[in-house]
Amino acid sequence: MAVFYLVAFLSIFFSLLVIFSKNPVHSVIYLIITFFTFTIHYVLLNAQFLAIVNFIVYMGAIMVLFLYVLMLLDLNVNSEPVKSSLMKIAGIVAGMCLLVTLAGALKGSGFLPAGAHEEVVQRPNLGLVKNLGQVLFHDFLLPFEVSSLLLLSAMVGAVLLAKREPREI
């Protein structure tokens, strides 16, 4: 139980560092650490498959993509555009207002009857690959195939966008 609060504190701390650090490369590093804490959360929630996919896809693929683009654009110099402090304060106030609204809505809704948290993780093998695969390929077969189409179109679009246009047109 204490592990959850420790890891939750770490996630909040590192996600704050992501948005407040000046250097974008440091932001990416902190984001990787944040995603690692999310992986620990998935393990604690007994979702082993998602933990591994989060580890591979987010910490591996997406973060490498971010770092690669960041180094390709040569932004690790202090060319960081600064926003006026008034806008920053307004943004922070707006974000905190959203947080207060969400927390107030949660508190006021009376969501969750008392004692609902005692039946956590009744089926310990809920998040295993075998279980998830059966659900994925029985109930969600069409969305799965459509998502492959989405990935293909995203790949074509990314290549087309990032390609340098020929000059003669």
Partner 1 sequence: MQDIVKTIQGVPLNHYILLSAIIFSIGVTGVLIRRNAIVIFMSVELMLNAVNLLLTAFSAFSNDPAGQVFVFFIMALAAAEVAVGLAIIVMIYRNTNTIDINVMNRLKW
Size of the site for partner 1 (CB under 8 A): 89
**What separation in angstroms does the CA of 82 have from each of 79, 87, 116, 158?**
9, 10, 47, 29
Closer residue to partner 1 in complex, CB, 161/169: 161
Dihedral-angle region of residue 49 (phi above 0 means left; psi in -120 to 50 means alpha; beta otherwise): alpha
Member of 6, 71, 76, 94 binding partner 1 (CB under 8 A): 94
Question: Does 62 engage in binding with partner 1 (CB under 8 A)?
Answer: yes
Residues 2-21 that bind partner 1 (CB under 8 A): 3-4, 8, 11-12, 15-16, 18-19
Which pair of structure tokens corresponds to residue 22? 């000046």
Q: In angstroms, what is the minimal distance from the CB of 167 to partner 1?
A: 13
Alpha carbon distance 110, 104 (integer Å): 10
Cα 14–chain centre separation: 13
Closer residue to partner 1 in complex, CB, 9/168: 9
Alpha carbon distance 83, 73 (integer Å): 21
Residues 118-157 that bind partner 1 (CB under 8 A): 118-124, 126-127, 131-132, 135-136, 139-140, 143-144, 147, 150-151, 153-155, 157
Q: In angstroms, what is the minimal distance from the CB of 166 to partner 1?
A: 14
